Structure 1
Amino acid sequence: MSNGHAEYRINKGINRQLEFKGLKGQYLAYLAGGLVILLLLASTAYLLGLSPWTILVIVLLLGSGLFAIVFHLNAKYGRHGMMKAIAHRQLPKGVVCRSIKTFVKLNGLNNAV
């Protein structure tokens, strides 16, 4: 700003995927949601009168399982791979057509049959 012109910094991270400690995209949301559920579970168990040591062991086991599953899914599928795998499972194995009328109507050859 010494010569009267404004200087602007350019954010080079626009449109890049969100990543934290190796987790990418939606897996961060899965991990955050799982941790919130664990927090609610621990507070509910405490209000029900369970021993804090029991709660600690349960939360540590479930939390380590959550981390293992989320990091495994992240490594296996990547950013969009799980969506693609789910969409691929929803595709039909094949299309059955027992009549030629369908194809005749597509071609506009209604007078031929």
Structure 2
Amino acid sequence: MPVYQINKGINKPIEFKGLKAQYIGYLAGGLVGLLVLFASIYICGLPVYLCILTISVLGTGLFYQVFKLSHKYGQYGLMKRSAKRYLPGYLKFNSRKLFTRLKK
């Protein structure tokens, strides 16, 4: 009879070294962007040490910013913050018919 392991991580967000959920994707996208930037700067003819210095400074900033956002907003907080922008400041009704016709 085979023995199966029980997966205790069900319904938990993906986490990698302190990064949660979508921030892993943001960091991966940023690193791919830095790789493309490095290749384009190198092809343009800048010296290698200047390319490495530029990319390392930008990479450090990327890591710092993504970890800062992950710790500040958590798993869904950044999406909630961006969605909050689309909420109206107030609602204006000209009559009370909407509320008086509601079923209980």
Verify same fold: TM over 0.5.
Answer: yes
Choose 1 or 2 for highest CA Rg.
1
Q: Which one-letter code corresponds to 1:9 in the other structure?
A: Q
Which structure has more relative contact order (CA 8 Å, sep 6+)? It is: 2
Identify which of 88, 104, 113 aligns with 2:97. 104
CA deviations over 1:60-110 (Å, ceiling 9, x no partner): 11001101110110111000111111222221110123x32xx336646xx
TM normalised by structure 2 equals 0.87
Q: Does 1:22 align with 2:18?
A: yes
- Percent identity between matched residues is 46
Q: Which one-letter code corresponds to 1:30 in the other structure?
A: Y
Q: Does 1:95 align with 2:91?
A: yes
Please identify runs of 4+ aligned residues in structure 1 that moved more than 4 A: 105-108
CA deviations over 1:2-56 (Å, ceiling 9, x no partner): xxx2221222222221111111110011001000000010011111111101100
CA RMSD of aligned residues (A): 1.5
TM normalised by structure 1 equals 0.81
Which stretches in structure 2 are left out of the alignment for 5+ residues?
none
Which stretches in structure 1 are left out of the alignment for 5+ residues?
109-113
Aligned match of 1:62: 58
Q: Which one-letter code corresponds to 1:18 in the other structure?
A: I
Please give the secondary structure, in 2, of the residue aligned with 1:56.
helix
